[in-house]
Amino acid sequence: MIQEEEIRKGLRRGDEKIYEMLFRELYVSLCSCARRYVYRKDIAEEIVSEVFYNVWLKRKKIHIKTSVKSYFYQSVCNSSLNYQRKQKAEQKLTSCLTDENEENYSIANSIYDDENYAETVQELEIKVRNAVELLPDQQRKIFKMKRISKMKNKEIAEELKLSVKTVEKHTTSALKFLRDEMKDYLLTVFCCLFI
């Protein structure tokens, strides 16, 4: 059994045998840990792989004060929580930018018979659709597959022959672009939906 200090030193100097040993020893249990937060095997595996990759990249800067095993578990937990927060924020934002809100608009239109209100809603729908069309081709395609066709990241990745992480990054970039593009209209969207 290798001593804890030897493992730390091996990590810092980039000893591939130490990394392989840790990967074999911890991978399955770390995936189980991540899955408790993200509920999907593929995402959990992606998170764990990313943690190992980041440890490798930052090996000379990392100072592990706990056990190495605890460090990996904490890193996976933190990454899983970050993923959850990102997903929740993304869902909140996109709920205003998808066709799911057409029902809300219809209900709002029936409640408010004001012609200006209906025109405002139509203008917003056009602006959202135009903003989506301004996205780069790949981002637009992924965004529409995810938000309109309701496909999962894994399904999109398989169809487009991309990694799940690439699909997530394109989705995040698209949402950031749309948020920036629609920032002048967010108050109007809020008022139309909630007033």
Name the fold adopted by 4-87: Rna Polymerase Sigma Factor; Chain: A (1.10.1740)
- As annotated, the residues of the chain forming the CATH 1.10.10.10 domain(s) are 96-194
Q: What is the pTM of this model?
A: 0.51
Residues with Cβ within 8 Å of residue 185, at least 6 apart in sequence: 124, 127
pLDDT, tens digit (0-9, with 9 covering 90-100), for 111-132: 344 455 556 667 777 887 888 8
pLDDT, tens digit (0-9, with 9 covering 90-100), for 10-41: 999 999 999 999 999 999 999 999 999 999 99
Q: What CATH number matches the domain at 96-194, 3.30.1490.100, 3.40.50.300, 1.10.10.10, 3.40.109.10?
A: 1.10.10.10
